Amino acid sequence: MECFRRVNPFRACAGLRVLGYLMLALVAAIVAVSYYAVVVYAWGPLLLGGGGGSVAAAAIVLAAFHLLLIMMLWCYLMVVFTDPGAVPENWRHAAEEDDMDESNTRTISNDVATDIVNPPLFTSEGQGNASRYCSRCQNGKPPRCHHCSICDRCVLKMDHHCVWVVNCVGARNYKYFLLFLVYTFLETVLDTLVLLPSFITFFRDESRRSSSASDVAILFLAFVLNLAFALSLLIFIGMHTSLVASNTTSIEVMLCTVSTSGFHARHSS
């Protein structure tokens, strides 16, 4: 039992950052596969050697593909490299600062030689209007601030830690995260639609089966991945749209759900 007590569970959370770097490589691989399938295999040859109508259609498809790809990658990099929101060092709640000023005024006016020790307004549970205190960061926690065990820091208006971006999603990069979801959804929908004709033609026309096995595998993989991501991202966009409309975050919804479940469990027993 003593051995288990010495185990630090937060080390396992910190190890998830390694998984995040693998996810970065996975994102790059998915983008590369989709780019090859759309540009090199399906629509690039039509742009270079097709007729008038095929060239125009290929030009429109490739222009939309590259535009969405650039916007998606820009938003992705902004989510990765933008600080989600750090708590200033030695942060104090405004109410506590007012109480300290009042205490100092009373001390000076009364010429008291001894120090006055005021009870802190920080509470671990953040009850009422009192601010909370993070024992791991040794700092105050502003309202709607939460400690991330993976990043080992407090994040302002933390929504969640996203392994896909190796970063927390918080007050300062949440906008880029939402834009990333939208642009990625549009890109995956476009990829699925423009790859669908090639996907169907390959299985219907035997003459197209002369393509190399690697091209066939990339076409199939790109189509399936983009379709799967488009469907999953639609759910995420709907969820975060609801969160924005209600001015809440994912972690706040989760904590509220856990608190409500615990309340019902206590009163039902």
Beta-strand pair 153-155/146-148: antiparallel
Please say if the pLDDT value at position 226 is more than 50: yes
- The Cα–Cα gap between 240 and 234 comes to 10
In a domain, 181, yes or no: yes
Count of domains for the chain: 1
Predicted local distance difference test score (pLDDT) of residue 211: 64
In a domain, 251, yes or no: yes
In a domain, 268, yes or no: no
In a domain, 120, yes or no: no
In a domain, 113, yes or no: no
Report yes or no: 102 and 109 within 8 Å, Cβ to Cβ. Answer: no
Residue 177 belongs to domain spanning: 14-83+173-263
Please say if the pLDDT value at position 122 is more than 90: no
- Determine whether 221 is exposed, middle or buried from the number of CB atoms within 10 Å of its CB (0-12, 13-18, 19+): middle
In a domain, 161, yes or no: no
Helix axes 16-35, 52-81, angle to 10 degrees: 170
Pull the structure tokens for residue 96: 């506590």
Q: In this structure, how many other beta carbons lie within 10 angstroms of the beta carbon of residue 204?
A: 8
Report yes or no: 52 and 187 within 8 Å, Cβ to Cβ. Answer: no
- The Cα–Cα gap between 191 and 261 comes to 42
Predicted local distance difference test score (pLDDT) of residue 48: 83
- The Cα–Cα gap between 169 and 161 comes to 6
CA quadruple 157, 159, 161, 164: dihedral positive or negative? negative
In a domain, 122, yes or no: no
Q: 100-104, 162-166, 175-179, 222-226: which has the minimum mean pLDDT?
A: 100-104
The residues assigned a catalytic role are 162
- The Cα–Cα gap between 115 and 107 comes to 8
- The Cα–Cα gap between 72 and 21 comes to 19
Please say if the pLDDT value at position 114 is more than 60: no
Q: 41-45, 80-84, 232-236: which has the minimum mean pLDDT?
A: 41-45
- Percent of all residues in the chain with a pLDDT value above 70, rounded to a whole number: 71
Q: pTM score, two decimals? A: 0.77
Helix axes 213-246, 16-35, angle to 10 degrees: 120
In a domain, 32, yes or no: yes
